[in-house]
Amino acid sequence: MNAAARPSLLPGWWRRNRGWLAGSVLLGALAFYLPWRDSRAERARSTPSHRINADNTGWSDYEGSGWRIAGVEFEPGAGKAVADYPHAPGSLLLVHYQVTPGREATGKLLDRCRGRLVDAAGRRWPANEPYKLGRRLRDRGFNDSCGTRPGESFVRIEASPGQAFDFSHAFLLPAGTRPEGLRAEIFFPPSTTTPHGSYLSFPLPPSAR
Amino acid sequence: MSAAPRHLPIRWTLVTATLCALALIVLLRKHQPSYEEKVAPLTVAGTIGAPVTARNFEVTVKRLKLARAYRIDGRYSGDPSQVVRADGIWLSALLEATATREPGFLSAQLRTRDGRLYAASGGDRPKLDGVNLGETSLATGIPASGAYFFDVPEAGLEGASLQFYWGLGAPSGLDHLLDIDLGLDARALAELRDQAVPELDMRTRTDQ
* Run of H or E residues at B22: helix B12-31
**Partners of residue B145 in chain A, C-beta under 8 Å:** 85-86
Question: How far is B194 from chain A, CA to nearest CA, in Å?
Answer: 30
CB contact under 8 A, A123 and B102: yes
pLDDT tens-digit series, residues A56-78? 788 999 999 999 999 999 999 88
What is the pLDDT at residue A1? 43
3-state secondary structure of B203: coil
Tell me the C-alpha to C-alpha distance, in Å, between residue B180 and each of A189, B45, B59: 38, 6, 10
Confirm if B138 and A129 have CB atoms less than 8 A apart. Answer: no
- Domain ranges for chain A: 10-46, 50-208
CB contact under 8 A, B101 and A173: no
Q: Which of A87, A90, A123, A116 is nearest to B56 (CA)?
A: A123
CB-closest option in B130, B142, B145 to A174: B142
Interface of A with B (CB under 8 A): 82-88, 90, 122-126, 129-130, 172-174, 177
CB-closest option in A86, A122, A130 to B139: A130
Q: Is residue A51 packed enough to be buried (19+ CB in 10 Å), middle (13-18) or exposed (0-12)?
A: middle
Higher pLDDT, B160 or A2: B160
CB contact under 8 A, A122 and B138: no
CB contact under 8 A, A130 and B146: no
Longest dimension (CA), chain A: 104
CB contact under 8 A, A174 and B140: yes
**Partners of residue B103 in chain A, C-beta under 8 Å:** 124-126, 129-130
Residues 6+ apart with CB under 8 A from A115: A95, A97, A126, A127, A128, A169, A184, A185, A186, A187
Distance CA B107, CA B133 (A): 9
3-state secondary structure of A204: coil
Question: Which class would CATH give A50-208?
Answer: mainly beta
Report how many Cβ contacts below 8 Å link chain A to chain B: 54
Q: Which of A140, A123, A127 is nearest to A174 (CA)?
A: A123
Distance CA B115, CA B187 (A): 21
In tens digits, what is the pLDDT along chain B, a chain of 208 residues? 455 667 778 889 999 999 999 999 999 999 999 999 999 999 999 999 999 999 999 999 999 999 998 988 888 887 888 888 989 999 999 999 999 999 999 999 999 999 999 999 998 889 888 899 999 999 999 999 999 999 999 999 999 999 999 999 999 999 999 999 999 999 999 999 999 888 888 888 766 5
DSSP string, A133-181: HHHHHHHTT----SSEEE-GGGPEEEP-TTS-EEEEEEEEE-TT--STT
CB contact under 8 A, B102 and A124: yes
What is the pLDDT at residue B57? 98
Instruction: Indicate the DSSP class of residue A57.
Output: S
Which of A84, A114, A116 to probe the B interface (max B CBs under 10 A)?
A84
CB contact under 8 A, B144 and A125: no
* Half-sphere exposure at residue B71, Cβ-oriented, CA atoms within 13 angstroms: 13
Longest dimension (CA), chain B: 119
Distance CA A66, CA A59 (A): 6
pLDDT tens-digit series, residues A64-115? 999 999 999 999 988 888 999 999 999 999 999 999 999 989 999 999 999 9
CB contact under 8 A, B138 and A83: yes
Interface of B with A (CB under 8 A): 100-103, 130, 133, 136-146
User: Parallel, antiparallel, or unpaired for β A183-187 and A198-203?
Assistant: antiparallel
CB contact under 8 A, B139 and A129: yes
Question: How far is B115 from chain A, CA to nearest CA, in Å?
Answer: 32
CB contact under 8 A, B143 and A88: yes
> What structural domains does chain B harbor?
45-201 (2.60.40.1240)
